[in-house]
Amino acid sequence: MIEAIKFHKHKTTTADWRLTSGYLHEGRSDFESVHILLGRFLADRTSEDPLAEKELFASDGIFEWGHAKPLEKVINSREDLEFLLKHPNLLRNCITIIEPWEHVGVNALGEDVRASKNVAYIAQKIADMDSVLLPVWSTGVLDPEIVVPAITSGYTVILEGGDPSTYDPSTWTSPACPREDMFALVEKLLISRSPTSASAIFICVGHQLAAECHIRLIRRAVKEILSLTSLERDKDDKAIKSLQEVAARIEALGKTLQVKKRDGRLVATGWNDEHFAVTRNESKEVGDRVLLPYQSPDGDALSIPWEIIHAHDVTADAHEGVIDTTIQYEREVSISMFHSDEVNEEAILFANWAYRSIHDVIVPYRHVIAGSALSWLIQLPDSIEILCSTALDGEIVTECSATCINYKDFETKKVRRSFTCQFHPELLSDLRAIGNSEAPSYSTLKNDDGVRLFVRLLYTGMQE
């Protein structure tokens, strides 16, 4: 089976791509039907599959990207991307899955786990949602200025996991996609959430890349604000003075904030440290874990300033992050962890405080900033909330297991969200890629906590 998969890799071309949406009911899948079917899946744990019974594996038993429908749509070149740009309906009626690496890890059976196939299978099986794959580890990022507006026109964008570490450029060994290219792509995704764009879900390494890029965007914002001496149409320099006062406070804290582990180890000092946003976890975390509600840390013990803890408490009270609500109201939520690195809670607490500070200072001067060189600041998140943690034998292992990234519109005050999670909601407890294991039934998916959580994120994102 594995040899066959390798042999058939990237077999399909654009000539094989379906030009109408849907596979189980080809040509009859659209936003409304997909949304209804996602809602039906979440309504209970017992109802029958409302879609037609149709095999998603190819006739030869293979379920692999680029081998056959419904996994035929793989962007292997700029020509493939251009084909999609000429057929915008294909992108509008699909999930786009970005692979930063060819697999998310190796499981206990020694199998490479290509989790993107699970995302595609789950979406197709329960709601007949098509998927397009962008394997940037082999194709490169192409051009974020073209790619991001195109892929965010669809249902959602999924950035999958992978083996490399965000803090170690030597681990990004694919010549097609160096680390800096990934940062550029993720930064563009983070500042592209709008009333007309899809939400994004960043998984595992995607979660870590998002964390690193929050800090990079904040550093960029501070640098640009402090480099200016004036803004056009800024009467009495009120806007620039207010912005620079806030930027200076952010810079001062960013340069001195320490990142400590619960055992007292100091792993980073300041936002220029490679390990400020992401570092090696205390222990590798593999297998099922129960999600726990996030609890604010002891600021005195970890030397975290009170103001950034308080800012996060306000964010948590003001916003609903879906995952935290699921933990609160559903039964015990068990999900699959599969990682060695983790996002530092201090970095996310800092990012939330910085985003809130920038957003709030922009509010009275937004008409000035909208027509200035700093207009891109309006696209930054309003806040970011840590939603949950995981523990083993009563001890917290991963403090920041998921986040909700909030974007508050300056005019309507409406909030749009994207999500990040260290865990893999698309993997079942066997930690196998679908295609290496048997195809799970609708009933199996319906009763899996991780899958339900993943579907809830899709469902919620489509409503914003």
Nearest alpha-carbon partner for 335 in 394, 266, 398? 398
Spatial contact of 38 and 131, defined as CB atoms under 8 Å apart: no
Q: Which pLDDT score, from 0 to 100, does residue 1 have? A: 35
Mean pLDDT computed over 316-328: 83
Window from 253-257, 313-317, 395-399 with minimum mean pLDDT:
395-399
Assess whether pLDDT exceeds 90 at residue 64: yes
Q: DSSP alpha helices (H): ranges in 205-263?
A: 205-227, 238-256
Which amino acid, residue 123? Answer: A
**pLDDT per residue as tens digits for the range 38-60:** 999 999 999 999 998 899 999 99
State the angle between helix axes of 238-256 and 345-362 in degrees (0 to 180), rounded to the nearest 10: 170
Of the two residues 438 and 98, the one the predictor is more confident about is: 98
Assess whether pLDDT exceeds 80 at residue 373: yes
Assess whether pLDDT exceeds 80 at residue 284: no
pLDDT interval class at 228 (50, 70, 90): very high
Q: How far apart (Å, rounded) are the C-alpha atoms in residues 463 and 3?
A: 42
Mean pLDDT of the chain: 92
Domains of the chain by residue range: 2-204+426-462, 210-421
pLDDT interval class at 144 (50, 70, 90): very high
CB-based contacts of 241, cutoff 8 Å, min separation 6 = none
Spatial contact of 24 and 52, defined as CB atoms under 8 Å apart: yes
Give the Cβ contact number of residue 124 at 10 Å: 22
Assess whether pLDDT exceeds 80 at residue 336: no
CB-based contacts of 431, cutoff 8 Å, min separation 6 = 107, 108, 113, 286, 287, 336, 338, 424
Nearest alpha-carbon partner for 165 in 274, 285, 286? 274
Assess whether pLDDT exceeds 80 at residue 360: yes
pLDDT interval class at 3 (50, 70, 90): very low
Q: Which pLDDT score, from 0 to 100, does residue 134 have? A: 98
Q: How far apart (Å, rounded) are the C-alpha atoms in residues 444 and 447?
A: 5
pLDDT interval class at 263 (50, 70, 90): confident
Q: Which pLDDT score, from 0 to 100, does residue 334 have? A: 73
Mean pLDDT computed over 432-460: 94
pLDDT interval class at 290 (50, 70, 90): confident
3-state helix, strand, coil split of the chain in percent (to 5) is: 40, 20, 40
Instruction: Please report, for residues 107, 419, 431, the alpha-carbon distance to residue 333 in angstroms, rounded to integers and kept in the order given.
Output: 22, 17, 17
Nearest alpha-carbon partner for 325 in 407, 385, 415, 393? 385
Q: How far apart (Å, rounded) are the C-alpha atoms in residues 427 and 296?
A: 29
Instruction: Provide the 8-state DSSP code for 229.
Output: S
Assess whether pLDDT exceeds 70 at residue 285: no
Q: Which pLDDT score, from 0 to 100, does residue 5 have? A: 40
Mean pLDDT computed over 182-197: 96
**% pLDDT > 70, the chain:** 95
**% pLDDT > 90, the chain:** 80
Assess whether pLDDT exceeds 50 at residue 248: yes
How many whole angstroms from its chain centre is CA 233? 37
Assess whether pLDDT exceeds 80 at residue 335: no
**pLDDT per residue as tens digits for the range 201-222:** 999 999 999 999 999 999 999 9
Tokens representing residue 149 in the block: 């507006």
Tokens representing residue 429 in the block: 């407890």
How many whole angstroms from its chain centre is CA 189? 9
Q: Which pLDDT score, from 0 to 100, does residue 11 have? A: 81
